[in-house]
Chain A
């Protein structure tokens, strides 16, 4: 039976990565926004959820810290509804930060956004690392409560949470898929193809780009909140760019940007390879080798298979008439 628990543990993380790839797909795959600061929105979501549900880290440092701590008790909502409030707050915080940065950079050259997202990720990490009163600094926040934790034994909790992750993932997939297939998503894809022609068709390009940026960031924030409640511990080290940004990019590019199903496939496959390599003999099981391979894979995929495994659906054969 242990294998089931192992698979559930694997599935939880792969599912959370699936959330990030969905968010990144809204940015890059559908709108062409180059976000290399996934870690920033990941951290914002995770910390928001954690701070709302854990005790204030060190009251002597900041006694009047009010909202921290007891969302579960404060709300007094039955069947752990606080969890959804935490997810929503994580999405809102990420979205608001995206709104501010997007408003400044989305009118400018495409690559300014990339550098700015990098800046967000770094600034957010520094804030949680250094503001001890806020988030306990490098020691992180622990004892984040379990969602529906009273209903199962601790041993079985992974199975339950795996189901929760899959449900949230499915809901997000459904929501994003709806949006992308709606006229709103059609405008995003038009922007990705040709910004000027989209403006000539009367669309306010900036507004749509900003909306897409906020939506993707909010999805990433939800992924962060899922992570916080799944592992019940966050510290700034979790948001290392490698595991919080780069691997998400590789997942998206391997799976195929511009296709949500491909993005999810990429998340499960790349995370499968990543966690599978830990069973390799120790001589070649070097975490830094994996680090190297992630970068190498990103270059390789773009050079050899720019559309990923399935990419965007092609309705008609290439070549056509």
Chain B
């Protein structure tokens, strides 16, 4: 890869340009994930269409973050398939899903503390010539132009996020909201085809949340990148996302426009919990809690 292949525009790139045709960009089929005795994701299937900002909501413990961890390769799945851009990505490791074009953020920002803001961004682009150990000694002339291009891309991204005045600051010195922006900036640097945002508004003041929302919307509009967001702040979900997918008890409960979701009785029930009398109907759903692996503990399970 040579410097010419680095696009000068910080965020615009081609792949996201495809409009929402019938082909989903991400297909999750029958995904299952067990942790010890608990089934966190239970035969979950969902599609994300290209070019959308899709919201992922659901009550606590519905399996949203686990789903992110599975899609991005941070957890190994128990069963099921994940297809991204027509390619199977289940079983890939975290850095491999990244190269497939899928980039995630963490709920709590994971900045590289003792690296500058600029370095935090410049780290991200893939296939950097200078990441070969030999390159700095034997082919420095191939690094320099690429570095300049990446630095320009990083500076433009910082400008886009209004963080450019902090470029030489250590990331550890940023405020909570600035760290969130930095995290968003890092994902943009990857020129991904799809971004997974885990609770971008968590721990951010309402004023900054508005800014962040604006940046996310602008990002989508200007680049066409598909965005999947876990979010609890309904104000954000309602104004930003379409469609919204509701997850409950490890599977998709429904999908619809924000208004449809808002009006849906079943969704409300999922949030507010089942009523005392509903237990007989709910009793069918016992597969949700599975017996622990006998071999793991070497002892038999007592009857529940």
Q: How far is the CB of B143 from chain A (nearest CB, A)?
A: 6
| Binary contact readout B95-118 vs A (1 if CB under 8 angstroms, 0 otherwise) | 100110001101000111111100
Residues of B within 8 A of A312 (CB): 114
Most chain B CB inside 10 Å of its own CB: which residue of A193, A198, A211, A312 = A193
Q: Are B72 and A316 in contact (CB under 8 A)?
A: no
CB-based contact B95/A316 at 8 Å: no
Tell me, yes or no, whether A310 is within 8 Å of chain B by CB: no
In the complex, what residues of A have CB within 8 A of residue B129's CB? 183
Asked whether A199 is an interface residue with its Cβ less than 8 Å from the other chain, the reply is yes
> Does chain B have a CB within 8 A of A186?
yes
Whole-angstrom CA separation of A179 from B131 in the bound complex: 9
A183-B130, A201-B186 in contact; A190/B112 too (CB < 8 A)? yes
B132 and A184 contact, CB distance less than 8 A: yes
Assess the A314–B110 pair: CB atoms within 8 A. no
Bound Cα distance from A104 to B99, whole angstroms: 25
Given A179-B137, A321-B173: A186 and B122 interface contact (C-beta under 8 Å)? yes
Contacts of B137 in A (CB 8 A): 175, 178-179
Interface residues of A in 300-314 (CB under 8 A from B): 312, 314
Question: Which range holds the interface residue count of chain B?
Answer: 35 or more
Q: What is the distance, in angstroms, from B96's C-beta to the closest C-beta of chain A? A: 8
A189:B114 contact, CB within 8 angstroms: yes
Contact of B119 among A186, A199, A258, A318 (CB under 8 A): A186
Is B166's CB within 8 Å of the partner chain A? Answer: yes
For residue B122, which residues in chain A have a CB less than 8 angstroms away from its CB?
183, 186
* B27 adjacent to chain A (CB < 8 Å): no
Q: Please name the residue on chain A nearest to B189 by beta carbon.
A: A201
A179 to chain B: which residues have CB within 8 Å? 133, 136-137
Shortest Cβ distance from B147 into A: residue: A183
Residues of B within 8 A of A183 (CB): 122-123, 128-131, 143, 147
B49 in contact (CB, < 8 A): no
Contact B170 A200 (CB under 8 A): no
Chain A residue numbers with a CB within 8 Å of B114 are 189, 193, 258, 312
Partner of B95, one of A186, A205, A318: A205
B130 touches A193 (CB 8 A): no
Decide: B131 and A187 in contact? CB cutoff 8 A: yes
Cβ A201 vs Cβ B169 within 8 A: no
Q: Is A204 an interface residue (CB 8 A)?
A: yes
Residues of chain A lying within 8 A (CB to CB) of residue B133: 179, 184, 211, 215
B79: Cβ under 8 A from any A Cβ: no
Task: Tell me which residues across on chain B come within 8 A of A282, comparing CB atoms.
Answer: none
Question: What A residues does B94 contact at CB under 8 A?
Answer: 196, 199-200
- A residues 179-229 near B (Cβ < 8 Å) are 179, 181-187, 189-190, 193-194, 196-205, 211, 215
Q: A200-B72, A204-B95 are in contact. Are A189 and B112 (CB under 8 A)?
A: yes
* Contact between chains at A316 and B104 (CB < 8 Å): no
Closest to A180 in B: B136
Taken residue by residue from 114 to 134, chain A's Cβ proximity to chain B (1 for < 8 Å, 0 otherwise) reads as 000000000000000000000
CB pair A184–B135 under 8 Å, yes or no, is: yes
A316: chain B residues within 8 A (beta carbon): 116, 168-170, 173
Name the prevailing secondary structure of the A interface residues. Answer: helix
Q: Are A201 and B123 in contact (CB under 8 A)?
A: yes
- Please tell me if the beta carbons of A184 and B173 are within 8 angstroms of each other in the complex: no
B190 at the interface (CB under 8 A from A): yes
- Contact call A202/B130, Cβ cutoff below 8 A: no
Chain B's nearest CB lies how many Å from the CB of A258? 8
Q: Are A190 and B123 in contact (CB under 8 A)?
A: yes
**Alpha-carbon separation in the docked complex, A203 to B116 (Å):** 18
Tell me, yes or no, whether B38 is within 8 Å of chain A by CB: no
CA distance A189 to B137 in the complex (A): 19
Q: Is the CB of A202 within 8 A of B135?
A: no
Residues of B within 8 A of A181 (CB): 136
**CB contact between A201 and one of B93, B124, B147, B175 (< 8 Å): that residue:** B124
Docked pose: A183 CA to B128 CA in angstroms? 7
**A321-B169 contact, Cβ under 8 Å, with A199-B95, A201-B186:** yes
Docked pose: A314 CA to B114 CA in angstroms: 8
Interchain CA distance A156-B131 in the complex, whole Å: 44
Residues of chain B with a CB closer than 8 A to A314's CB: 170
User: In the complex, what distance in Å separates the CA atom of A204 from the CA atom of B74?
Assistant: 13
**A residues near B213, Cβ cutoff 8 Å:** none
**Is A315 an interface residue, CB under 8 A from the partner?**
yes
Which chain B residue has the least Cβ–Cβ distance from A320?
A: B173
B136 and A197 within 8 A (CB):
no
Q: What residues of A have a CB within 8 angstroms of the CB of B202 in the complex? A: none
- Kindly state the separation between the CA atoms of A201 and B169 in the bound complex, as whole angstroms: 20
Chain A residues, Cβ within 8 Å of B119: 186, 189
The 18 sampled A-B contact pairs (Cβ below 8 Å) are A183-B128, A184-B130, A184-B132, A186-B115, A186-B123, A197-B106, A197-B110, A199-B95, A200-B103, A201-B124, A203-B123, A205-B95, A215-B133, A314-B170, A315-B168, A315-B169, A315-B170, A321-B169
Q: Which residues of A contact B (CB under 8 A)?
A: 175, 178-179, 181-187, 189-190, 193-194, 196-205, 211, 215, 258, 312, 314-316, 318-321
B: residues with CB less than 8 A from A are 72, 74, 93-95, 98-99, 103-104, 106, 110-116, 119, 122-124, 126, 128-133, 135-137, 140, 143, 147, 166, 168-170, 173-175, 178, 186, 190
- 10 other contacts beyond A193-B113, A211-B133, with CB at 8 A cut-off? A179-B136, A183-B143, A183-B147, A189-B119, A194-B111, A198-B123, A200-B98, A200-B110, A318-B173, A319-B173
Closest 8 CB pairs of A and B: A320-B173, A202-B98, A183-B130, A182-B136, A197-B110, A193-B112, A199-B94, A178-B136
